[in-house]
Amino acid sequence: MSHPKLELTNITKVFYPHTVNERIALKSVSLTLREGDFVTIIGSNGAGKSTLLNVISGAHRSEAGILRVDGADVTRLADHQRARYISRVFQDPMAGTSPHMTIEQNLSMALSRGRRRGLRRGVSAAKRSRFREELAALELGLEDRLGVRVGMLSGGQRQALSLLMATFSEPEILLLDEHTAALDPQRAALVTRLTGEAVARHGLTALMVTHNMEQALQLGNRLIMMHEGEIIFEIDAGAKERATVPDLLAEFGKVRGATEALSDRTLLG
Amino acid sequence: MIVALDLGLVFAVMALGVYISFRILDFADLTVDGSFTTGAATAAALIVSGVSPWLATVASIGAGLVAGSITGLLHAKGGINPLLAGILTQIALYSINLRIMGRANVPLLRAQTIMSPLRDARLLGTPVSVLVFLGLAVIVAALLVWLLSTDMGLAMQATGDNESMIRSLGVNTDAMKIFGLALSNGLVALCGALIAQYQGFADIGMGIGLIVAGLASVIIGQAIFGQRTVLIAASAVVVGSVVYRVVIQIALMVGLNPNDMKLISAVLVVVALLLPKWDVVRRYRNSRQERLDKLTEPFDEPEPVAIGKEAHR
């Protein structure tokens, strides 16, 4: 039926609860993604962007709230159980691949995402020819290097591979956590382009955290801004195409002004 | 010297077990000292009580699987540090091994064992027994290489290589570690059962320091052959085990006594660990690696031409 692809209802995440270090990272966040939505998330450090992705992927457990994928409640599933629905690209190019294993082995493991892994051959001839095809589309020459260990690749190549691994098995939800932040501008632009292409080709529903406002505007059909664990601003499909970086900076300015005034008052008070 | 080949090939089964925990799972598992004796004790106790030696040997594998799972549970579910989890199981197994045997030593000299056909024909320590044990080591290594190339085996390799990545791909890494440690100690216990039947007794102290012999085999073998693929790595472990026993045999022949063996084992492992770090050796290995890479794959990264434009848009 027409369930939303991803539905967060009043998700709250508290770090170090009941201690002096208690910090509320997400304050009752609600967010709904329809099929094919591609939402980019911006916000200052500590706004809760990465925490939000970690809660969705299951790496962190939320203290309250409900998380649904395709109408199914997945709040209580562990991260490896949610992998059936959700795939993810990390910020660190080293994090998304297995360095001592070959390109084809890494791809094979990604192809089995969320499925039972039995005693079939990990890399079969059929899979190999599919991998070659998928890698050729990256235009990095990796299709001729299936047997090379991933640790031998550059950061940009590894991140492009991670992206392919996360998308070609067509997950219900794709999570991108500042996945171009660790790359030089040229490689970042390449991975950004590949991201747009992959999401479009597979019709994926995606959430992307980024610090780069240009990228946040370039990719996706919706944009949200987070601050101190809350979604404070949202641009919808239509408005996003017309939005510019100065618009976003102005929104940031509002928030910053508010908090600075507040902290001044606290200091004086 | 032929006895050293015999022993090296039988102990290769144990070394392959250590390879699973130490290299594949990246888990220094000290359970081995206990589970080796558990395998020997289980087989010896069953054989003495009249059970078929083949059945007794299979039962010893089962005992090793249980021992390994306990270490796995302590670590994966209990969150106990790998070294400590292994030591705890190892110490607990000491008491359990004594319970299984009923005393500190069980002689098997007059019992019918799976080694009896070879022993009765006076073939132990001859080229024939070397061939038989070579066959055994090759079969175990081949099964391991096959297992590691399956979907499940790839997931196990990734569990030791990049745990958070393979979890994000839907693998329960806790279960994978428990399974891997069980398998590892199953092989170690099988080796214990074989050694007990080879030497004609099981003894409570036979596993002491064995982890060092296992690590020595893995490290020596892979220092010689490298570990580019699982096939090379597993074969290297078998060769490493034989090399280790031969070195020990030579040390005995030049007049050191059996009590010195633990010291020699430890020195061997230290040398094998430090040698690859020396500049001379490293330079040699790197140049060999480069030649290998040139032979196998082109290694140029093409410039993504179209990208520049997009970046400056």
Interface with B, mutate which of A57, A69, A80, A162 (most B CBs under 10 A) = A80
pLDDT in tens, A14-28: 999 999 999 999 999
**Measured between CB atoms, which of B149, B302, B308 is closest to A140?**
B302
B83 phi, psi to nearest 5 deg: -60, -45
pLDDT, chain B, mean: 90
| Residue contact B169–A109, C-beta within 8 A | yes
Q: Is A235 helix (H, G, I), strand (E, B) or coil?
A: strand
For residue A237, pLDDT beyond 70: yes
Averaged over B54-78, what is the pLDDT?
98
Tokens 């398998």 locate to B183
Instruction: Answer with the residue of higher pLDDT: A8 or B310.
Output: A8
Q: Is the sign of the CA dihedral B288, B289, B290, B293 positive or negative?
A: positive
**Measured between CB atoms, which of A95, A109, A193 is closest to B155?**
A109
Q: Is residue B284 part of a domain?
A: yes
- Single-letter code of the amino acid located at A31: L
Domain with residues A6-97+172-268, CATH architecture:
3-Layer(aba) Sandwich (3.40)
Range of the domain at B200: 2-296
Q: Is residue B15 part of a domain?
A: yes
pLDDT, chain A, mean: 90
Averaged over B226-231, what is the pLDDT?
90
User: What is the pLDDT confidence band of residue A267, given thresholds at 50, 70 and 90?
Assistant: very low
C-beta pairs of B290-298 under 8 Å, 24+ apart in sequence: B292/B228, B296/A147, B297/A144, B297/A145, B297/A147, B297/A148, B298/A141, B298/A144, B298/A145
Averaged over B75-103, what is the pLDDT?
97
Q: Please report the pLDDT score of residue B12 as a whole number.
A: 98
Nearest CA in chain A to B172: A80
Tokens 């060999």 locate to B288
User: What is the four-CA torsion angle of A205, A209, A215, A221, rounded to 10 degrees?
Assistant: 30
Q: Is residue B305 part of a domain?
A: no
Question: What gap in Å lies between CA A155 and CA A157, rounded to an integer?
Answer: 5
Instruction: Answer with the residue of higher pLDDT: A88 or A44.
Output: A88
**Measured between CB atoms, which of A94, A109, A123 is closest to B166?**
A109
A196 interfaces chain B, CB cutoff of 8 Å: no
The per-residue b/e assignment along A200-234, b for 16 or more CB within 10 angstroms, e otherwise, is eeeebbbbbbbebbebbbbbbbbbbbbbbbbbbbe
Question: What gap in Å lies between CA B123 and CA B105, rounded to an integer?
Answer: 25
Averaged over A206-219, what is the pLDDT?
92
Tokens 């500590």 locate to A46
Beta strands in chain A (DSSP E): 6-15, 23-33, 38-43, 64-69, 72-73, 86-89, 173-177, 205-209, 222-227, 230-235
Q: Shortest Cα distance from B166 to chain A (angstroms)?
A: 8
User: What is the pLDDT confidence band of residue A252, given thresholds at 50, 70 and 90?
Assistant: confident
For residue B282, pLDDT beyond 80: no
Instruction: Answer with the residue of higher pLDDT: A211 or B158.
Output: B158
Q: Within a 10 A sphere around the Cβ of A60, how many other Cβ atoms? A: 18
For residue A86, pLDDT beyond 80: yes
Q: Is B298 exposed, middle or buried (0-12, 13-18, 19+ CB in 10 A)?
A: exposed
Domains in chain A: boundaries: 6-97+172-268
Nearest CA in chain B to A102: B229
Q: Is A10 helix (H, G, I), strand (E, B) or coil?
A: strand
User: What is the pLDDT confidence band of residue A260, given thresholds at 50, 70 and 90?
Assistant: low
Q: Please report the pLDDT score of residue B297 as a whole number.
A: 45
A118 interfaces chain B, CB cutoff of 8 Å: yes
| Residue contact B307–A193, C-beta within 8 A | yes
Alpha helices in chain A (DSSP H): 49-57, 79-82, 103-111, 125-136, 155-167, 185-202, 213-218, 237-242, 245-268
Domain count, chain B: 1
Residue A14 near residue A25, CB atoms below 8 Å: yes
**Cβ-Cβ contacts under 8 Å, B145 against chain A:** none
Q: Is residue B310 part of a domain?
A: no
Q: Please report the pLDDT score of residue B224 as a whole number.
A: 86
| Residue contact B154–A122, C-beta within 8 A | yes
**Cβ-Cβ contacts under 8 Å, A109 against chain B:** 151, 154-155, 158, 166, 169
**Cβ-Cβ contacts under 8 Å, B170 against chain A:** 80-81, 83-84, 112-115
Averaged over A161-173, what is the pLDDT?
95
Tokens 């006594």 locate to B257
pLDDT in tens, B175-191: 999 999 999 999 999 99
Nearest CA in chain A to B146: A121
Q: Please report the pLDDT score of residue B311 as a whole number.
A: 37
A18 interfaces chain B, CB cutoff of 8 Å: no
Q: Is residue B238 part of a domain?
A: yes
Share of chain B above pLDDT 70, in %: 90
Which tokens in the block code for residue A235?
């641009």
For residue A1, pLDDT beyond 60: no
pLDDT in tens, B112-136: 999 999 999 999 999 999 999 999 9
Side-chain half-sphere CA neighbours of A114 within 13 A: 19
Q: Please report the pLDDT score of residue B285 as a whole number.
A: 66
Which tokens in the block code for residue B114?
């799976």
Q: Is residue B306 part of a domain?
A: no
B157 interfaces chain A, CB cutoff of 8 Å: yes
Instruction: Answer with the residue of higher pLDDT: A138 or B287.
Output: A138
Q: Within a 10 A sphere around the Cβ of A115, how many other Cβ atoms? A: 13
Question: What gap in Å lies between CA B279 and CA B289, rounded to an integer?
Answer: 15
CATH of the domain at B128: 1.10.3470
Length of chain A: 269
Question: What gap in Å lies between CA B96 and CA B73, rounded to an integer?
Answer: 18
Tell me the sheet residues that pair with A13. Answer: A26
pLDDT in tens, A25-59: 999 999 999 999 999 999 988 899 999 999 999 99
Residue A142 near residue A159, CB atoms below 8 Å: no
Residues 6+ apart with CB under 8 A from B237: B12, B15, B16, B18, B19, B141, B217, B218, B221, B222
